[in-house]
Chain A
Amino acid sequence: MQNRKILALGALCLLVVCIHLLTVITGSLFYLTQLTMAAYYGLVIIGLGTLMGYAGQISLGHAGFFAIGGYLAASLTTCNLVPFQGNWLLRGLDTFGLLTTAQNLAGEHVLTMEPWAACGCAVAAAALIALVIGIPVLKLKGHYLAMATLGFGTIIYRILLASPYFGEADGISEVPGFTLLPAMGTMGPIMISGDPAHRLVNYYLAWGVLILGMGLLLNLIGSRVGRALRSLHSSEEAAEAAGIDTARFKLHVFVLSAVYAAVAGVLLTHFNGGIGPSEASVMKSVRYVALVAVGGMTHLWGTLLMGVTLTFLSLRGVFGTYDDAVFGLILILVMLFAPEGILSLRLKWLIKTICSGVRS
């Protein structure tokens, strides 16, 4: 079991390298940009997949957590703090080296928060909000849970759309790159930004984060916690009777998946250099649910592969103006004909044909 997991993760690493080589050979390196973005969305999707597939809780508000992460990171790294320079809080932040100075296009001196600190704040805020929201929300079931999380997502969307601090309908743009490692010797700085010069590094960074996230989730699922979660999905009463603190497990997974969404939001915002309110819209949340459903709820690998592939196609604009309609249709078809996910369908079909072949 342990070996298979490492083998699968290794295969994914190999696949990532192969795709890179393939784009080099075919001279289509520009695909890497969308693949990078797809990897970040993949992070949201596997987090949600764990919540839906293993804890059995639907969330129609995950775009909200993504947006909390992205928007907080964006606003903290772009908001000019010069007018508040005398403030004790800022002086405190400065002594810890959490502030950074730069010059904007007009040549003015700008004081903003260090991306590391902003990232920490954003993810912590998302986790805290998930915790506070999760305690009452996860007591609900079925339709009520779906509507409550949908309501949460809509509130976040409305707040972002109505507050001038978050740029209203325009969102926040000109978010600086996220420098992970400063320039050393001949090597340039390693940073998350949409600059074509950093494209390759970003591609590997994004997939590295995704594979790391996947590894952590696989470990979680294989552990005692994972078994508890699966029992929770099949029957909450039975799980409780077996002595599992269902409320606590559900809450933990909810917070974990919110953190995954927030991290993806932070990193993608730095990569894109901006974020708009459409990232928080209900349609985005529904899309995440659709991708989880397509991959198969209790099948994290399927979720990952289908999620990244479909997101990549959608980002490349393959579906054109029918983008949302395609996702709606996928959602219905998968739920009608293959509620276990598309990959499971293929597998069953394959086994059936092989069996019949052997018999004849």
Chain B
Amino acid sequence: MSLDLFFQYLFAGITYGAIYAIVAIGFNIIYNATGIINFAQGEFVMLGGMISISLLRFMPLAYAIAAAVVITMAIGALIEILFIRWLESPSVLRMIIITIGISILLRELALHIWGESIRSLPYFYGNEVTTFALGSVHVSPQVLWVIVACAVMVSGLSVFFKGTPIGREMRACAANRTAALLCGINTRNMVTLSFMLSAGIGALAGCVMSPITYTQYDSGTSLAIKGFTVAILGGLGNSMAAVMAGILLGIIEAFSVSVVPLAFQDAIAITILLIILFVKPHGLFGSSAAARLKAF
């Protein structure tokens, strides 16, 4: 493998890794607030892409994306209020099945609204063939958009969680729900907020990745599996580690293309997921002692 090819693969890996990391962060936010893995997380990404593509006919790109994020956030809040808010300490099995049901409903809804056709947003800058040279490597400007979006999101979230009162309340809720309740925090609203936040993050990811990966009604499922793989790889609930793990998975996938046929690419992520679940379920960067205290 020549050095140029190496860097080309590396950039592809980082791009996809950033996308996976964003999906994983969406998983983590809801997990932290509720202890639930939201199996419909991938569908938020799909919805974000689809809605922004539809809105593009009526408004410029930036507004379409903003509107798509807001609409998906509203959908996320609606789902939480309708299906989850009023349940009294449901079992994990029940929550898994409910969120799977939600993901099926969203996917079928998308199928009936948008059909089976594959769509995409236009490139934010230039077109498919626009590249700029980074040394001897050619990189699409969209790659930069993805990486910048990921970086902005991660830093924005860390400011939100550390700096703002609502962010601190959410962290309190994540650390101990009962204690947070006793401190006068409305934990139910925090859960709704976490669904909105993770829906919005997913939608934004869906928008920035759409020009590269395209959007289809069923593109959520494989993204959800990869996002979950990344969330586990980094340690469930740890958003910073998710970024590292996401880029790691992206790079592994990108380089695996030169070894294994493309058709098996999805299988690689899942194999990594299975291995990490068997060997180190608390993640590469998590501590096993802390993991034992969490409820699964």
Taking beta carbons and an 8 Å cutoff, which residues of A are in contact with B? 52, 56, 58, 60, 136-137, 139-144, 146-148, 150-152, 154-155, 158-159, 161-162, 282-283, 286, 289-290, 293, 321-322, 324-325, 327-332, 335-336, 339
Contacts and interface: CB of A to CB of B under 8 A. Distances in A.
B261 A148 contact: no
B273 A158 contact: no
A324 B108 contact: yes
A154 B100 contact: no
Given A147-B37, A336-B87, 7 more contacts: A56-B93, A137-B274, A146-B37, A154-B225, A155-B267, A328-B105, A328-B108
Nearest to B92: A142
A286 B224 CA distance: 15
Interface string B243-287: 000000000000000000101101100110110011001000000
A161 B281 CA distance: 29
Given A144-B281, A331-B104, A293 B97 contact: yes
Interface of B: 37, 39, 83, 87, 90-94, 96-98, 100-105, 107-109, 112, 221, 225, 228, 232, 261, 263-264, 266-267, 270-271, 273-274, 277-278, 281, 296
18 contacts: A52-B93, A136-B277, A137-B274, A141-B296, A142-B93, A143-B96, A144-B232, A144-B296, A146-B37, A147-B37, A148-B277, A155-B267, A286-B100, A286-B104, A325-B108, A327-B104, A332-B101, A336-B83
Interface centre among B92, B101, B261 (most CB of A within 10 A): B101
Contact of A158 (B97, B228, B267): B267
A124 to B, nearest CB: 23
Contacts of A151: 225, 270, 273-274
A148 to B, nearest CB: 5
Given A143-B296, A147-B277, A335-B98, A329 B105 contact: yes
A146 B221 CA distance: 14
A328 B93 contact: no
Contacts of B103: 328
Contacts of B281: 140, 144
Given A147-B277, A154-B225, A328-B105, A142 B100 contact: no
A50 to B, nearest CB: 15
